[in-house]
Structure 1
Amino acid sequence: MQRYRLGFSQRYRLWLASGLLLFCTFAWGQNDPIRGTLGAVGSDTMAGLMLRWGEALNTRHPDIKLQFQASGSASAPTALVAGTTRFGPMSRPMTESERQQFIDRYGYPPRELSVARDALLVVVHRHNPLASLNREQVDAIFSTSLNCGGSHAIRRWEELLPADQWPYGKIALHGRNLASGTHGLFQERALCSGQFRRDISEHPGSSAVIAAVGESPNAMGYAGYNHLNPMVRAVPLISGEGTPIAPSVATIQAGTYPLSRDLYLYVNLPPGESLPPAEQAFLSLIFSNEGQQIVQAAGFVPLPQAQRTSLLPRD
């Protein structure tokens, strides 16, 4: 068998090519793009926001995809406990029983992150002249319990406005369905945990509530701030100090509007552990300037600068 011996220049070129191959292999490993499919289950109110965040994340990291199931805030704790998702967006805080179910399953509580500000609105037809409502009145309109201190139920417009100003008789009410975090939070805070009237027309989304109220002069409803449009008017609510406060970016961000609220992202993260790179990239986006600009573009209110963070605590 004939053997060939490489000259110096040939050996040098082979060594150089091998070195370049090893370097490129190492460099490719070092700069390997973040990949993954993120799952999230929860709030219908936050559906548009989550999808916009997902699009922005995919622009930053083309190999990360966000799959979001908008089945209502009540579905988030169930999915987190079942382990079918790591992220659970909710438009209300978890209840103690929901939190305890998670602890019973995993031995540690879920991480609660405030990701944006929002508010619950009481809305009427755009031409309705109703100047304001206090807590007792809101409760007396929407509930049967009168837990907030009202003396009697309010069922007709002439109990709120002179008939010559708004002659539309019985108030037709619209609200969210039972799976909604908006439903649960309005019940807790506006009805003092009382019981809703049974004749309230329930809708799967706030946009449907707004549409129904906008089409009917005799209607009133409650919905999320980001769905407000010119077809309806948000009624100022009277604060504990007796001042009517209209919902706005300033009053919601400051928390002075009586039904201001945080929007949450619950995360399954064991104490002492860090999130995988794809999940950490998603949180970094949410709390970045870009992520909070998306909050505002989606019709919600950005977090105050002091409240933002780009890193999730590890313990």
Structure 2
Amino acid sequence: MNKRLSIFSKGLALTLVLLTTSAGALFAAPIKVDVNLSDYVKVEGVAGNLSSVGSDTLNNMMTFWAEGFRKKYPNVNIQIEGKGSSTAPPALIEGTSQLGPMSRKMKNKEIQAFESKYGFKPTTIGVALDALAVFVNKDNTLKQLSMTQVDAIFSKTRKRGAAEDITTWGQLGLGGDWANMPISLYGRNSASGTYGFFKEHTLEKGDYKDTVKEQPGNASVVLGVTEDKGGIGYSGMGYVTSGVHALPISDKDGETAYQPNYDNVLSGKYPLGRMLYINVVKEPNKPLPTLVKEFITYVLSKEGQEVVVKDGFLPLPAAVAKKQLALID
């Protein structure tokens, strides 16, 4: 299996690889959801309060899902807070939320803390796909980067083996006024799952440079690069605007660079594809509370995955959504 697919669980990765041989219709622009996804069927007796605490990356998507869900169930009240993936596990453990959206999987210590409270592990449900985009100001003419170069730009440890630190745009081949222009770094703060994912998969668990301007949200990163001609940053692709452009990325120097699009995420060619998750408290062999179960069912339905596309992210193929639904039965 392509090692770049290690971002997914092994079972999901295999499903995605197999789907790329037959899902050509999914790759057209604009992206369309899989026609084989299930329609959401409204049920009786759904009411009450639902709380979500976690990922900033999923914040807009959770809001859109909540709006769609409440149209079906007006007696449901949903509160959403998106300050970072690291806030999800404590909220689930303390019982202050029923939904814990995260842009990464829980760390072992988070799972252990959860298990210490409940006596069982959290249920982690994949709800959308994302390409973590590395982007520059719209006026920047840089064509592509390798993961080795990205590491040398953002990390002071350079675990991918770059020969030198990259601090100016001239080192990446830009001339004229750009040649001596310093590279200005924008990233997320340490509470963010995007920060953790980028650190693990791009920096190979190396250390960020002290000069990275840490931002509280993806939108702030994008705004920073939009207003800074020499800026470069990373965020979920759903936050990229006309003020920046996402760069194709290759796994290694000299290899083919791939755009952060649906086709390349599904095939594993784009090296920063990832799954986005919602975590819930589900006791083994017992059903989820009806309100929580129906919300997750809605998210994984055709209508729910259309929300994913609306928010600029990538919908799950039907076979993957079905596998996720099985986790909440």
Same fold, TM-score > 0.5, yes or no: yes
* Aligned pairs (5 A) from 1:52-71: 52-71=64-83
- Amino acid paired to 1:271: P
Q: Which residue of 2 aligns with 1:277?
A: 290
Identity among equivalent positions (%) equals 38
* Distance 1:71-1:283 versus aligned 2 partners, 3 A rule: same
State which of 146, 152, 156 in structure 2 corresponds to 1:134. 146
Structure 2 CA distance for aligned equivalents of residues 314 and 184 of structure 1: 27
Matched, 1:198 2:210: yes
State which of 136, 147, 159 in structure 1 corresponds to 2:159. 147
Structure 1 CA distance for aligned equivalents of residues 284 and 85 of structure 2: 24
- 1:251 deviates by 1.7
State which of 264, 268, 277 in structure 1 corresponds to 2:277. 264
- 1:314 deviates by 5.7
* Aligned pairs (5 A) from 1:1-315: 33-164=45-176, 166-167=178-179, 169-239=181-251, 242-309=255-322, 311-313=325-327
**SS of residue paired to 2:85:** coil
Per-residue Cα deviation, 1:71-127 (whole angstroms, up to 9, x for no partner):
210000111122222210001111111111111221111001000001211111112
Does 231-240 or 70-79 show the bigger shift?
A: 231-240
Does 160-169 or 93-102 show the bigger shift?
A: 160-169
Flag the structure with larger Rg. 1
TM-score w.r.t. the length of structure 2 is: 0.83
Structure 2 CA distance for aligned equivalents of residues 158 and 220 of structure 1: 14
- Amino acid paired to 2:154: F
Q: Which has the higher contact order (CA 8 A, sep 6+)?
A: 2
- 1:249 deviates by 2.4
Does 191-200 or 246-255 show the bigger shift?
A: 246-255
* Distance 1:35-1:129 versus aligned 2 partners, 3 A rule: same
TM-score w.r.t. the length of structure 1 is: 0.86
* Distance 1:141-1:279 versus aligned 2 partners, 3 A rule: same
Structure 2 CA distance for aligned equivalents of residues 107 and 91 of structure 1: 24
Which structure 1 segments of 5+ residues have no match? 1-30
Structure 2 CA distance for aligned equivalents of residues 276 and 254 of structure 1: 36
- 1:312 deviates by 4.4
Runs of 4+ aligned residues of structure 1 deviating over 6 Å after TM superposition are none
**SS of residue paired to 1:192:** coil
Contact 1:253 1:303 in 2 (8 A): no
- 1:151 deviates by 1.9
- 1:56 deviates by 0.8
**SS of residue paired to 2:124:** strand
Structure 2 CA distance for aligned equivalents of residues 116 and 300 of structure 1: 7
